Amino acid sequence: MTKETLAILGNEEVIAINQDPFGVQAKKVRMYGDSEVWVGPLSGYRTVVVLLNRSPEFRTITAQWDDIGLPPNTVVEVRDLWKHATPEKRFVNELRAGVHHHTCKMFLLTPLTLSEENEPKV
The confidence score (pLDDT) of residue 8 equals 84
Whole-angstrom distance, CA of residue 119 vs CA of residue 115: 6
In order, the DSSP letters of 1-39 are --HHHHHHHT-HHHHHHHT-TT----EEEEEETTEEEEE
3 state SS of 114: helix
The confidence score (pLDDT) of residue 122 equals 36
Per DSSP, 45 falls in state G
The confidence score (pLDDT) of residue 57 equals 97
What are the 10-residue block averages of pLDDT along the chain, 122 residues in total?
A: 89 93 95 97 96 97 96 95 93 96 97 66 42
